[in-house]
Structure 1
Amino acid sequence: MRNLVVLGLVLAAATPLSAQSEKAARCETSAKMVMEAVQARKDGIPLKRTERELRRALDRDTGASLAQWIYGLPEKDLTLDVGRKWEQECLAQ
């Protein structure tokens, strides 16, 4: 019986940790996607092409919004900080 209680406690404790690690992985992946879009802009890839790729990876509205946001940033702001800030915001939600 004691083993079952201990197992239950371990599983209960692991669930939030697992959810946190899944969230961290999702946020890291989305930050990488943001940085790929930033790099596409820096490489001169047209907005419509980047938007199309983001729509495929995400969904229609999210991909379009993300592309518009990235292509609307001032050129001086196209740094690694964009991805870092994106990831921080994602983790904070």
Structure 2
Amino acid sequence: MRNLVILGLVLAAATPVSAQSDKAARCETSAKVVMEAVQARKDGIPLKRTERELRRALDRDAGSMLAQWIYGLPEDQLTLDVGRSWEQQCLTQ
């Protein structure tokens, strides 16, 4: 879970090099945060603990929504595809 906090801080503190590369870096970092939360769920860490860590790393609403979404996924969907899909969706925005 410490990685979640560190990744969240990195995400918030990232300085732009260029608009496109900055966006790609932010999307990659946010996908890593998502995958850390997926791994937490797979490791049996309770929802409330993951939610608390995500709220610290992101913000109250985003952390809660992300945790609820990840813990609502069927177990067979807890794969690397979650992070890949997250990153792709991020890049299209």
Corresponding residue of 2:26: 26
Between Structure 1 and Structure 2, how many residues are aligned?
A: 77
Q: Give the percent of matched residue pairs that are identical in Structure 1 and Structure 2.
A: 86
Corresponding residue of 1:70: 70
Alignment deviations for residues 29-68 of structure 1 (CA, whole Å, 9 cap, x no partner): 0000000000000000000000000000100000000000
Q: TM-score, normalised by structure 2?
A: 0.81
Q: Distance in 2 between matches of 1:57 and 1:27?
A: 15
Larger Rg, first or second structure (1 or 2): 1
Corresponding residue of 2:7: none
Structure 2 residue runs of 5 or longer lacking an equivalent are: 1-16
Give 1 or 2: higher helix fraction.
1
Q: Distance in 2 between matches of 1:34 and 1:58?
A: 11
1:82 Cα deviation after fit:
0.1
Q: CA RMSD in A?
A: 0.9
Corresponding residue of 1:5: none
Structure 1 residue runs of 5 or longer lacking an equivalent are: 1-16
